[in-house]
């Protein structure tokens, strides 16, 4: 396997070949400090405001994706093999504006203008969907772009106009990308300080074994903030986003298998096929920019007690595979979380796969996210509930919660209390949750609020499912007639 020591990507029609860079140099620093390309703004430097949004075209397997990402928390090395677009690159022939820019002018979508470059870039990426977007889609597209003065109506109107006329696809960049695309490994730096991007699992595991002190990362929607907000020294970075095995999504009749570096946005459709609640949850997770970069693997490996996906995955009975050069092991996801800040992962192990069983005929699922804002907010309480119902009784349940303990955790006492009960009978048993949890008490929510909410969310699931069961039972005779 060939190895390179310089990153290569396209920017403003020129091939950038950069060997000398700090592993933690961000795309935003590259733009503003190296290129004096100051159209891309810095607001929060933590992925929240979207002022720094840029668009990146990159291959993921056979697919070519154009994605809006937050330049402030993306490390420069992740651009290897891609094309980078900023607001200054949208200029057309002469004085002609790009359709997104023209629509923003027409609808008065900008006042002070600080958020405008980011908003334009989010809409630019959206135009590559190659179809008109409706208001709901545009609200999603812009959930990670904060505007303090214009108000969103004119901006959404501009988005509707722009996506109606602009019909680009990421495919138009395939030839440009193919000029720099290779299977070569990247290792920029030296033994003590480097940015590495292996392309296959065996090279990754070898590198991690040689450098167990290195920081692994995929979307950097956590790790990026360790640099910009916590000022942590991260001299050795290993990027997982080019390892082909970790990018795979495989679906069979019984399960879904996601590689350890599959982004939320790529996983969204596959999860939707499992249960529509999960797709809606992922739609609410972070913003478009965060979902394009952030991964389910990162959401698990960071060990956070308030990550959105672990409670859902635990309720579904998911397991994960951890691999090192010593071998591979698969464990139930719930066993991965040992205590706050401690997970069952050795320094040389990589989370390579997440295995999610599909719901069986007798299983019913619900998940709820409780946060201060509906979109783009961290959960106060997150729940995933899966009930196995036979002859009208709960024979098994998995009730998993985030925000209720130092780790994502199942309510095993309540699960035992629910066994053998009907969904309706179980409604009176939700107070058992106080025997399972002593919830966290912090700036997001008090312990009392968390406990009462958790009980109410469980009751809500039971009531909803019990009503569904009643309707299904009432329908049965008619179904039989039609059969």
Ligand X SMILES: Cc1cc2nc3c(=O)[nH]c(=O)nc-3n(C[C@H](O)[C@H](O)[C@H](O)COP(=O)(O)OP(=O)(O)OC[C@H]3O[C@@H](n4cnc5c(N)ncnc54)[C@H](O)[C@@H]3O)c2cc1C
Contacting positions for ligand X (CB under 6 A): 46-48, 215-223, 240, 260-261, 285-286, 290, 293-295, 297-299, 301-302, 307-308, 350-351, 378
**Radius of gyration in angstroms for the set of CA atoms belonging to the chain, rounded to a whole number:** 24
| Helix and strand numbers, DSSP H then E, in the chain | 17, 21
Sheet holding 255-259, edge to edge: 249-251, 255-259, 350-357, 319-324, 327-332
Q: Choose between 167 and 330: whose C-beta lies nearer to ligand X.
A: 330
Of 384, 467, 383, 388, which Cα lies nearest the Cα of 427? Answer: 467
The stretch near ligand FES (CB under 6 A) out of 104-112, 230-238, 339-347, 390-398 is 104-112
Nearer to ligand FES, 112 or 475 (CB): 112
Token pair, residue 407, equals 């780790």
> How crowded is the C-beta side of 44, counted as CA atoms within 13 Å?
17
Element (H, E) at 366: strand 363-370
Q: Which residue, 41 or 409, is less far from ligand FES as judged by CB?
A: 41
Whichever of 298 and 317 has its CB closer to ligand X, that residue is 298
CB of 294 to ligand FES, least distance (A): 13
| 402/391 Cα distance (integer angstroms) | 30
Phi, psi dihedrals of residue 30, rounded to the nearest 5°: -55, -45
Q: Which of these, 371, 377, 396, 378, lies nearest to 386 by C-alpha position? A: 396
Total residue length of the chain: 483
Q: Which of 115, 258, 382, 394 is close enough to bind ligand FES by CB under 6 A?
A: 115
CB of 45 to ligand FES, least distance (A): 5
299 binds, among ligand FES, ligand X, none (CB under 5 to 8 A by kind): ligand X
Helix, coil or strand: residue 285: coil
- The three-point CA angle 60-63-69 to 5° equals 55
**Who contacts 251 (Cβ-Cβ below 8 Å, separation ≥6)?**
257, 270, 273
Residue where the block lists tokens 């001299």:
235
> What minimum distance in Å lies between the beta carbon of 428 and ligand FES?
46
CA distance 291 to 285: 7
Q: Which CB, 28 or 454, lies closer to ligand FES?
A: 28
CB of 466 to ligand X, least distance (A): 29
What does 223 interact with, of ligand FES, ligand X, none (CB < 5 to 8 A by kind)?
Answer: ligand X
- Residue pair 110/150 in contact (Cβ under 8 Å)? The answer is yes
Cα separation, 464 vs 472, whole angstroms: 12
Which CB, 47 or 117, lies closer to ligand X? 47
Choose the binding region for ligand FES from 61-69, 106-114, 310-318, 341-349 (rule: CB under 6 A): 106-114
- Between residues 283 and 460, which has the closer beta carbon with respect to ligand X? 283
Which position among 86, 101, 127, 150 is part of the footprint of ligand FES (CB under 6 A)? 150
Residue 307 contact among ligand X, ligand FES, none, beta carbon within 5 to 8 Å by kind: ligand X
Nearer to ligand FES, 150 or 263 (CB): 150
Question: What is d(CA 271, CA 245) in angstroms, rounded to the nearest whole number?
Answer: 19
Per partner kind, with CB cut-offs from 5 to 8 A, the member of ligand X, ligand FES, none near residue 76 is none
Neighbours of 263 (CB within 10 A): 25
Q: Which does 216 bind (CB under 5 to 8 A by kind): ligand X, ligand FES, none?
A: ligand X
- Block residue for tokens 């719930």: 334
Annotate each residue in 167-196 with x if it binds ligand FES (CB under 6 A) or - if it does not, as one string: ------------------------------
Within positions 11 to 70, which residues make up the interface with ligand FES, using CB under 6 A?
42-45, 47-52, 70
- Assess 148 for contact with ligand FES (CB under 6 A): yes
Helix (H, G, I), strand (E, B) or coil at 120: helix
CB nearer to ligand FES: give 26 or 414: 26
Q: How far is the CB of 98 from ligand FES (least distance, A)?
A: 18
> With binding defined as CB under 6 A, does residue 113 bind ligand FES?
yes
Please tell me whether residue 348 binds ligand FES under the rule CB under 6 A. no
Nearest CA among 45, 48, 25, 24 for reference residue 35: 25
Name the residues that contact ligand FES, by CB under 6 A. 42-45, 47-52, 70, 72, 110-116, 147-150
């Amino acid at each position: 396997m060939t190895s390179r020591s310089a990153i290569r990507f396209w920017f403003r029609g020129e091939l950038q070949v950069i060997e000398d860079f700090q592993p933690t140099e961000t795309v935003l620093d590259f733009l503003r400090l190296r290129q004096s390309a100051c159209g891309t703004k810095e607001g929060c430097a933590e992925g929240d405001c979207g002022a720094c949004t840029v668009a990146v075209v990159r291959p993921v397997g056979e697919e070519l994706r154009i994605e809006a990402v937050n330049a402030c928390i993306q490390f420069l090395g992740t651009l290897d093999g891609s094309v980078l677009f900023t607001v200054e690159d949208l200029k057309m022939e002469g004085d002609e504006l790009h359709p997104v820019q023209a629509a923003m002018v027409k609808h008065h979508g900008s006042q002070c203008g600080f958020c405008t470059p980011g908003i334009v870039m989010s809409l630019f990426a959206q135009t590559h969907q190659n179809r008109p977007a409706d208001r709901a889609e545009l609200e999603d597209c812009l959930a990670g772009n904060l505007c303090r003065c214009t108000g969103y109506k004119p901006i959404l109107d501009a988005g509707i106009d722009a996506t109606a006329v602009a019909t680009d696809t990421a495919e138009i960049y395939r030839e440009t990308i193919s000029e720099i695309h290779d299977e070569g490994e990247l290792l920029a730096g030296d033994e003590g300080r480097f940015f590495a991007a292996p392309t296959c699992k065996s090279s990754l595991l070898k590198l991690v074994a040689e450098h167990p002190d290195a920081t692994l990362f995929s979307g950097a929607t956590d790790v990026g903030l360790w640099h910009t907000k916590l000022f942590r020294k991260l001299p050795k970075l290993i990027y997982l986003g080019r390892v082909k095995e970790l990018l795979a999504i495989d679906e069979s009749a019984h399960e879904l298998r996601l590689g350890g570096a599959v982004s939320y946005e790529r996983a969204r459709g596959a999860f939707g096929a499992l249960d529509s609640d999960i797709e809606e949850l992922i739609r609410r997770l972070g913003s478009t920019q965060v979902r394009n970069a952030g991964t389910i693997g990162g959401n698990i490996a960071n060990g956070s007690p308030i990550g959105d996906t672990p409670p859902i995955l635990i309720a579904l009975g998911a397991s994960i595979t951890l691999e090192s050069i010593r071998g591979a092991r698969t464990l139930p996801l719930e066993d991965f979380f040992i205590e706050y800040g401690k997970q069952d992962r050795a320094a040389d192990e990589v989370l390579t796969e997440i295995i999610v069983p599909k719901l069986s005929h007798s299983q019913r699922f619900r998940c709820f996210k409780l946060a201060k804002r509906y979109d783009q907010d961290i959960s106060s309480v997150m729940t995933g509930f899966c009930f196995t119902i036979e002859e009208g009784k709960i024979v098994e349940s998995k009730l998993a919660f985030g925000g209720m303990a130092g780790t994502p955790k199942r309510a095993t006492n309540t699960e035992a209390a629910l066994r053998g009960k009907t969904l309706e009978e179980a409604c009176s048993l939700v107070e058992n949750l106080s025997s399972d949890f002593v919830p966290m008490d912090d700036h997001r929510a008090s312990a009392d609020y968390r406990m009462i909410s958790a009980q109410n969310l469980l009751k809500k699931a039971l009531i909803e499912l019990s009503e569904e069961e009643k309707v299904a039972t009432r329908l049965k005779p008619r179904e039989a007639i039609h059969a």
